[in-house]
Amino acid sequence: MHVTAGPGAILFRGVGLPTSATMAPLNDTATLAAEAERRARPIIAWLMDEERLSAARMAFLFDRFARRLRDAGLPVTRASLHIQQLHPQLAARSLVWDWDSGGAVELGHEHSIQSRDMYLASPVRTIREGGGPIRCRLEQPDCPLDYPILQDLKARGLTDYTMRPLTFSGGIRNAVSIATDRPGGFTELDLAVLDATLPAFAAVVELQHLRRTARDLLGTYVGPNAGERIFSGAIKRGDGEIIHSVVWYCDLRGFTALAETRPLPEVIALLNDYFDRMAEPVVARGGEILKFIGDAMLAIFPCPEASAAVCDACDAAITAAEDALAGVAALNERRQAAGESPLQCGVAIHVGKVMYGNIGAADRLDFTVIGPAVNLVSRLDQVSADLEQPIVVSASVTRASRRQFRSLGRHKLKGIAEPQEAFTLA
């Protein structure tokens, strides 16, 4: 029997009637439901212990859930959980649990997966597009193996497989599957117990998912450290602290003229390429990107005032600048090979005290840094442009860093009373 059904119906893949091994030893629907509820009750009570579970990692939660199903009598050998994501890089996350190896492994799927054969020919797609639960009796000789995953599971000796919708608020359809290697597969009672637990499981998974999404999005837009502070309650205007930090600022030269002569989509693509080269080394060296300002980028390398910490942060910031400029040079080789003009940019670095926190209007805030140190580094960027020096640092950086420098002379900087000596790498 191979039935294709619409939403709400079960897709059976297999032949013949259930054998005695696959039938629940219950006489009627009411008795089956009552027994399923009795077996599911401890799992639901465990899931509703929100205080304990809300802080658990998703992989840990899913591992415990699969084991609880086994404790309730379900012969689960393999399970998977598939959740759609609101994330700039990932379209979905999957967790795969295996009884033989133990534990759950998390996999991230980029947005491009939605056009790949692996997804298009998967039961996950069927569920997300509104299909009903799927049941595949793999041990039946005529069971269609029309999802590639079924071929793999049958080859492993699994006998039965089902994927059920896991519905979040707003009707968002995710998916959970279980499979077994028990001869005869799952009983109807097994599946009834699973279905009885899924609403509670969906509620707990959605709670964790929303918290993770909030952290992911805050980290994407304001940086991981600032995002965690906001998530932890630093949300009022003026919330913040004075910190000691290396301030790192880069700027693209001639961007205004470039933006006026090129189509906007091309300009946006160029900026994204440029920021990729600048941002990655900063993060890799321990910096935190606070904002993109047109064609400029502001980042910090927080450090205690202890001399060794400041020295390490200054050296990390300088190395990040060198790596970033090397990345732009590689980008320029590609651009020139395509007949495009090279990009010119510079990096300015200073170290000092900044206010790190919420600034803005009462109902529209920005989590950033302000203070004289930020003003000075932005003015040093102009020195970098005027003297065509790719890296310019302040005197305070030269006193802290292990690197060697040469002076670029003293310069009158806009808005700063005393002329400031600027330096570049020797």
Percent residues over pLDDT 90 in the chain: 64
Cα–Cα–Cα angle for 362, 363, 365, rounded to 5 degrees:
85
Distances (CA, A) of 116 to 82, 112, 190: 16, 7, 33
Residue 26 has pLDDT above 70, yes or no: no
Residues 121 and 134 in one domain: yes
Out of 122-136, 255-269, 311-325, give the one with best mean pLDDT. 311-325
- C-beta of residue 393 within 8 angstroms of C-beta of residue 424: yes
Number of domains in the chain: 2
Q: Three-class SS of residue 200?
A: helix
In a domain, 394, yes or no: yes
**Whether residues 156 and 238 fall in one domain:** no
- Phi/psi at 187 (5° precision): -85, 165
Q: What average pLDDT score do residues 189-208 get?
A: 95
Same domain? 47 vs 145: yes
Weakest mean pLDDT among 163-167, 325-329, 340-344, 409-413: 340-344
Structure tokens at 292: 């993109």
Question: Does residue 245 surpass a pLDDT of 80?
Answer: yes
* Domain-located, residue 3: no
Residue 203 and residue 244 in one domain: no
Q: Taking residues 171-191, report their average pLDDT.
A: 95
Q: Which residues span the domain enclosing 230? A: 225-425
261-287 tens-digit pLDDT: 888 998 999 999 999 999 999 999 999
pLDDT score, position 12: 43
Report the pLDDT value the prediction gives residue 234, as an integer from 0 to 100. 83
pLDDT at 20: 35
Within this chain, do residues 268 and 140 fall inside the same structural domain, yes or no? no
For residue 27, name the pLDDT band (cuts at 50, 70, 90).
low
Asked, for residue 165, whether it belongs to a domain, the answer is yes
Q: What does the alpha-carbon distance between residue 137 and residue 158 come to, in Å, rounded to a whole number?
A: 9
Residue 317 clears pLDDT 60, i.e. is over it: yes
Is residue 309 classed exposed, middle or buried when 0-12, 13-18 and 19+ CB atoms within 10 A define those classes? middle
What average pLDDT does range 397-422 have in this prediction? 94
The token duo for 115 is: 């056009």
Q: Is the confidence at residue 23, as pLDDT, over 60?
A: no
| CATH code of residue 93 | 3.30.450.40
- CA dist., res. 29 & res. 8, Å (int): 18
- 254 and 105 fall within a common domain: no
pLDDT of 86 reads 87
Calculate the CA dihedral of residues 264, 269, 274, 280 and round it to 10 degrees.
Answer: 140
Q: Are residues 323 and 382 in the same domain?
A: yes
**Cβ-count burial 233-264 (b if 16+ within 10 Å, e if not):** ebeeeeebeebbbbbbbbbbeebeebbeeeee
On whether both 316 and 366 belong to a single domain, the answer is: yes
CA angle 168, 172, 177 (to 5 degrees): 75
Residue 299's Cβ-side half-sphere holds a number of Cα atoms within 13 Å equal to 32
Q: Point out the least confidently predicted range of 177-181, 306-310, 316-320, 322-326.
A: 306-310
171 and 212 within one domain: yes
Residue 106 domain flag: yes
Q: Which residue has the tokens 């064609």?
A: 295
Q: Single out the residue in 167, 185, 220 at which a domain terminates.
A: 220
Say what the pLDDT of residue 178 is.
97
The answer on 385 and 251 residing in a single domain is yes
**pLDDT higher for 306 or 161?**
161
Indicate whether 213 and 298 sit together in one domain.
no
Spell out the residues 6+ positions from residue 284 whose beta carbon is closer than 8 angstroms to its own: 320, 323
In the prediction, which pLDDT does 375 show? 94
Decide if 287 contacts 248 (C-beta within 8 A): yes
Q: 164 - beta bridge partners?
A: 176
Residues 251 and 215 occupy one common structural domain: no
Across the range 70-77, mean pLDDT stands at 96
- Domain termination site, one of 194, 220, 246: 220
> What integer pLDDT is reported at residue 15 of this predicted model?
35
* Residue 289: inside a domain: yes
Token readout for 263 is 């189509």
- Give the C-alpha separation, 154 to 181, whole Å: 9
Higher pLDDT, 362 or 181: 181
Instruction: Tell me which residue has tokens 């803005």.
Output: 360
Domain boundary among 185, 203, 220: 220
